[in-house]
Amino acid sequence: MINLTLKRRIYDEFETLGTLDVEKNGLYIDTFKTLEKPWKNNERNISCIPVGTYIVEPYTSAKHPDSWVIRNVPNRTGILIHSGNYYTHTAGCILLGLAFTDLNNDNVLDIKYSSEAMEQFNKILEFESNILLTIKYINYVEKT
C-alpha cells in the first residue's frame, strides 16, 4: 500500500506550493515539492482541487507520458500529477519537483528538477494501482 500526503503550505494569487510525502507499507520513503493553482472554489482550469482523499492510478498520454491520474475529484476530471516548471504549466493538476526557485525572474516561485522528480516518483511507485492521496493544509500562509 502506498500513501501520498500533499501538504499545501504557501499560496498567492498565482499558485499554491507544498510538499508531497510518500509512504510505502507504512514506511516514509521520500518528499517532493509541489506546485498547483491557487484555491478558487474548485473552478475548472484555474483552481487546485479540494482537500480530501483520492485514488491515484498510472496514466500516460502523448502530452503527459508516465504520469498519474487522480480519481474521483468532485466536479473535475483529467487531474494529473505530472512534470512542469511554472504555474502556467498546470490547469488544475499537481506539478512535481525537487526544489523551488524563480526560474524566469518574474518574482513568482517555480518548481525545479521536475523531470528528475517524476523519474524518482515513478520508480518509487512502480506503477502500482493501490495508491491513496490525501491533500491537506499545513501551516498554510499567504506569500507576501
Q: Kindly tell me if the per-residue pLDDT of 118 is higher than 90.
A: yes
**pLDDT, average across residues 29-33:** 97
**Which pLDDT tens digit goes with each residue over 66-115?**
999 999 999 999 999 999 999 999 999 999 999 999 999 999 999 999 99
Place of cell 499560496: 11
Q: Which of 44-53, 66-75, 83-92, 119-128 has the lowest mean pLDDT?
A: 119-128
Which residues lie across from 2 on neighbouring strands?
Answer: 24, 131
Q: Kindly tell me if the per-residue pLDDT of 26 is higher than 70.
A: yes
* Sign for the pseudo-dihedral over CA of 78, 82, 87, 89: negative
Say what percent of the chain tops pLDDT 70: 99
Q: Kindly tell me if the per-residue pLDDT of 119 is higher than 90.
A: yes
Contacts of 69 (CB under 8 A, 6+ apart): 56, 57, 58, 59, 78, 79, 80
Residue (of 103, 89, 107) closest to 35 by Cα position? 89
**Under 8 Å between Cβ of 71 and 57:** yes
Q: What pLDDT, on the 0 to 100 scale, is given for residue 144?
A: 61
